[in-house]
Amino acid sequence: MEISTTLTDSPVDDARLAEILSDPGFGLHFTDHMFTVEWTPEKGWHDARITPYGPLTLDPATAVLHYAQETFEGMKAYRHADGSVHLFRPEANAERMITSSQRLALPELPVDDFIQAVEAMVKVDERWVPEGEGEKSLYLRPFMFASEKFLGVRPSQHVTFMVIASPAGSYFKGGLKPVSLWLTEEYTRAGRGGMGAAKTGGNYASSLIAQQEATRHGCDQVVFLDAQEGVYVEELGGMNMYFVHADGSITTPATGTILEGITRSSIITLARQMGHEVTERRFAIDEWRKGVESGDIVEVFACGTAAVVSPVGELRSAAGTLPAPESTETTMKIRSALVDVQFGRADDTFGWLRRVL
Ligand code: PLP
Ligand code: COI
């Protein structure tokens, strides 16, 4: 893919950048540039470019605004102590975007083009990659949307793929502390044959009312059950879940309708390497309740790119409050194993890092 580059003539100045990077929060500040490439059936992917970051001008009839035909990804660039900058398993994000795009009837962006676009963004906005202390990183948001001006309901004949980047600190205000969960029994995230396994905006739009319900009940995040039986734990609004048993084994829900996280899959590998037996299976909400009460479940945690690995606190629901298990020992060990690879403090045994700079 040939990428043309037009640099901004008004980059954020060094003093302001230092201020932003000292406390970036999440999703608040954006770098000086953005990447764009267009697709049509006749031309395929074309007109790849890096330009100054700025607003888009969209016709009010642009398809994505009406029918939500879009997909996105979330990944990070990590700065190591020696100054080098690395992506974590970018080919996994590229492949998941292809799967998501197939589900949304969007064109496939080849893995190599996806990685090239993300790398080009990291290179052009390198000064926005924070130092790694405090687990800061540069969050990258590739996304693809139906950009054709047309109100008929059919796959868009003009599609735009973009990458924007945003320096990131802790996803949750207040940093690493247990996240409290609200169990929604009214709303579901994904039905059989639906889009649950795809990373697409509609899934997040439909989660917001449940998240509002969680906030009303004083909880940080919402946990969804399967749509068919309302029995099996699926995931949180933006994170996958893990249960640690007293014998050291670990269970993570698998239902076919969850978003299969790259953090989730990395943790399965790391936990097995650390000697834990890890099972992916359907996991009933009653098994969670009874397990905590009987002491069979000793830790619960959640994971995702933005939020990394976080212990789960109380589970609240219409039926009452289930306390958090006391321990976070295994959670924190797994968390360290993961972030130590990402920030270059541990050997990259599985070849997960891709050096960009
Ligand atoms: N589940 C949902 C609904 C998410 O939005 C995310 C975040 O991307 C995850 C799980 C975790 O996925 P990953 O580890 O690839 O970031
Ligand atoms: C991520 O972890 O990358 C996510 O996409 C979660 C959320 C910010 C949507």
Residue 355 within any structural domain of the chain: no
Domain-terminating residue out of 168, 203, 227: 168
pLDDT tens sequence across 289-345: 999 999 999 999 999 999 899 999 999 999 999 999 989 999 999 999 999 999 999
Dist. CA 139–CA 171, nearest whole Å: 11
Dist. CA 252–CA 245, nearest whole Å: 11
SS3 of 129, please?
Answer: coil
Residue 295 shares a structural domain with residue 338: yes
Residue 189 shares a structural domain with residue 163: no
Query: Which pLDDT belongs to residue 171?
Result: 83
Whether 90 lines ligand 1, by a CB cut-off of 6 Å, is no
Using an 8 Å Cβ cutoff, are 159 and 108 in contact?
no
CA angle 186, 205, 160 (to 5 degrees): 155
Residue 236 shares a structural domain with residue 328: yes
Give the domain range for residue 226: 179-342
Residue 215 shares a structural domain with residue 302: yes
The total domain count for the chain is 2
Residue 349 within any structural domain of the chain: no
- Ligand 2 pocket: which residues have CB below 6 Å? 74, 238, 304-306
pLDDT tens sequence across 137-165: 999 999 999 999 999 999 999 999 999 99
Residue 84 shares a structural domain with residue 125: yes
Which segments of the chain have a pLDDT < 70? none
Residue 120 shares a structural domain with residue 205: no
Which run of H or of E encompasses 17? Answer: helix 14-22
Domain of 275: which CATH number?
3.20.10.10
Ligand nearest to the CA of residue 141, numbered in listed order: 2
Residue 174 within any structural domain of the chain: no
Whether 148 lines ligand 1, by a CB cut-off of 6 Å, is no
Residue 274 shares a structural domain with residue 141: no
Whether 196 lines ligand 1, by a CB cut-off of 6 Å, is no
CA of 158 to the centre of ligand 1 (A): 27
Domain-terminating residue out of 122, 144, 168: 168
Name the phi and psi angles at 319, rounded to 5.
Answer: -80, -10
Dist. CA 240–CA 252, nearest whole Å: 8
Using an 8 Å Cβ cutoff, are 293 and 238 in contact?
no
